[in-house]
């Protein structure tokens, strides 16, 4: 076990931050971890379950003397948080965020990072539909990807250190630029969530399908839409508002594909449908071969423990 950052401050104590804490403890990655959440209730919950070595009642107390500060709040408030903590950051410290949008976060957080403090945006591509401090567990990042998005002037040594940190938490890592990150995430995460929210909303609107039938027969694909659609609404509101360009671009492409499928169904073009579904099935196989999911029944879902 190697300590990579002696003192770590977690700002925001939801699923990602709590999982980071348990993973850091599992791997001996940090010496001392402080935590802060805006809500009194969240802080009390964190204390009750032993989340963080010390839960602070103010942002300033949490970041004081920290070698690594993790912004794990909704992306819409990260700029304000960065502004508040800036005067209290230790020279030589590193600030990261764990949001799923990067260009906007860099624009809003970057200007507040003092000279002599490193800023290395990150995005752990891991999560569940659950939120809050009790949702975290130490294996969340195992064999998942963390995308690291250096800003202009980032110290290469600190970027390497950040890769080592996430790898110690169980992640695979890859470095990419902000524009490409936001486009990739629009494809693999943001639009799928938007589709899930929409499908669940459509089912709610179809009064010809009763609530009892929706629940009773949801072992079909609809159940998995509801799992995704149960994700934190504040987080996803901010994601779509801060990744507008990439989301709209990919949503336009999705609409074109959907119209083509609609036309094939209307005209009875079974050959096109079969070819399309064969192609998409191959993508699923690629995901399995990459170890990013399991082919076990029920998607291998099991109860997770810390």
Tens of pLDDT, residue by residue over 222-238, are: 777 777 777 778 877 88
In the predicted model, is pLDDT for residue 88 greater than 70? yes
Confirm whether 257 is domain-assigned.
yes
pLDDT at 196: 81
The answer to whether residues 172 and 185 belong to one domain is: no
Confirm whether 9 is domain-assigned.
yes
Distance of CA 134 to the CA centre of its chain: 16
User: 37-64: per-residue pLDDT in tens?
Assistant: 999 999 999 999 999 999 999 999 999 9
Confirm whether 306 is domain-assigned.
no
Give the confidence band of 251 by pLDDT, cuts at 50, 70, 90. Answer: confident
The answer to whether residues 172 and 42 belong to one domain is: yes
Give the confidence band of 245 by pLDDT, cuts at 50, 70, 90. Answer: confident
The answer to whether residues 77 and 141 belong to one domain is: yes
In the predicted model, is pLDDT for residue 215 greater than 70? no
User: 158-176: per-residue pLDDT in tens?
Assistant: 999 999 999 999 999 999 9
The answer to whether residues 166 and 198 belong to one domain is: no
pLDDT at 296: 57
**Structural domain for 209, as ranges:** 180-300
Last residue of a domain, one of 119, 147, 176: 176
**How many structural domains does the chain have?**
2
The answer to whether residues 163 and 186 belong to one domain is: no
The answer to whether residues 214 and 82 belong to one domain is: no
The answer to whether residues 204 and 172 belong to one domain is: no
The answer to whether residues 200 and 113 belong to one domain is: no
In the predicted model, is pLDDT for residue 304 greater than 60? no
More confident residue, 303 or 80: 80
Q: What's the rounded mean pLDDT across residues 290-297?
A: 60
Looking up residue 70, the CATH number of its domain turns out to be: 3.40.50.720
The answer to whether residues 11 and 94 belong to one domain is: yes
- Tell me the percentage of the chain whose pLDDT exceeds 90: 58
pTM: 0.77
Confirm whether 305 is domain-assigned.
no
Measured CA to CA, the distance from residue 87 to residue 116 in angstroms comes to 12
Q: Convert the chain into a string of H (helix), E (strand) and C (coil).
A: CCCCEEEEEEECCCHHHHHHHHHHHHHCCEEEEEEECCCHHHHHHHHHHCCCCEECCCHHHHHCCCCEEEECCCHHHHHHHHHHHHHHCCCCCEEEECCCCCHHHHHHHHHHCCCCCEECCEEEECCCCCCCHHHCCCCCCCCCEEEECCCCCCCHHHHHHHHHHHHHCCCEEEECCHHHHHHHHHHHHHHHHHHHHHHHHHHHHCCCCCHHHHHHCCCCCHHHHHHHHCCCHHHHHHHHHHCHHHHHHHHHHHHHHHHHHHHHHHHCCHHHHHHHHHHHHHHHHHHHHCCCCCCCHHHHCCCCCC
Helix axes 244-267, 178-185, angle to 10 degrees: 30
pLDDT at 244: 83
The answer to whether residues 139 and 193 belong to one domain is: no
Give the confidence band of 184 by pLDDT, cuts at 50, 70, 90. Answer: confident
In b/e form, how buried is each residue of 255-269, taking b as 16+ CB within 10 angstroms?
Answer: eeeeeeeeebeeeee
């Amino acid at each position: 076990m190697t300590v990579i950052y002696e003192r770590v401050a977690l700002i925001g104590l939801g699923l990602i931050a709590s999982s980071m804490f348990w993973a850091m403890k599992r791997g001996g990655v940090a010496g001392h971890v402080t935590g802060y959440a805006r809500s009194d209730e969240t802080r009390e919950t964190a204390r009750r379950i032993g989340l963080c070595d010390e839960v602070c009642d103010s942002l300033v107390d949490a970041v004081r003397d920290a070698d690594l500060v993790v912004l794990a709040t909704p992306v819409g408030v990260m700029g304000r948080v960065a502004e508040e903590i800036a005067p209290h950051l230790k020279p030589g410290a590193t600030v990261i965020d764990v949001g799923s949008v990067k260009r906007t976060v860099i624009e809003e957080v970057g200007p507040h990072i003092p000279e002599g403090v490193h800023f290395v945006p990150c995005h752990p591509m891991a999560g569940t539909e659950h939120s809050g401090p009790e949702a975290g567990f130490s294996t969340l990042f195992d064999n998942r990807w963390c995308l690291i998005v250096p800003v202009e002037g980032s110290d290469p040594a600190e970027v390497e250190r950040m890769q080592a940190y996430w790898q110690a938490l169980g992640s695979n890592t890859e470095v990419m630029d902000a524009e490409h990150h936001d486009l990739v995430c629009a494809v693999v995460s943001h639009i799928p969530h938007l589709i899930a929210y929409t499908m669940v909303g459509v089912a709610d609107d179809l009064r010809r399908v009763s609530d009892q039938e929706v629940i009773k027969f949801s072992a079909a694909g609809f159940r998995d839409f509801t799992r995704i659609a149960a994700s934190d609404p504040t987080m996803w509101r901010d994601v779509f508002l801060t990744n507008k360009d990439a989301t709209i671009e990919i949503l336009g492409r999705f609409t074109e594909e959907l119209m083509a499928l609609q036309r094939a169904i209307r005209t009875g073009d079974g050959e096109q449908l079969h070819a399309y579904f064969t192609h998409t099935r191959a993508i699923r196989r690629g995901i399995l071969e990459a170890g990013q999911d399991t082919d076990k029944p029920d998607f291998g879902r099991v109860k997770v423990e810390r």
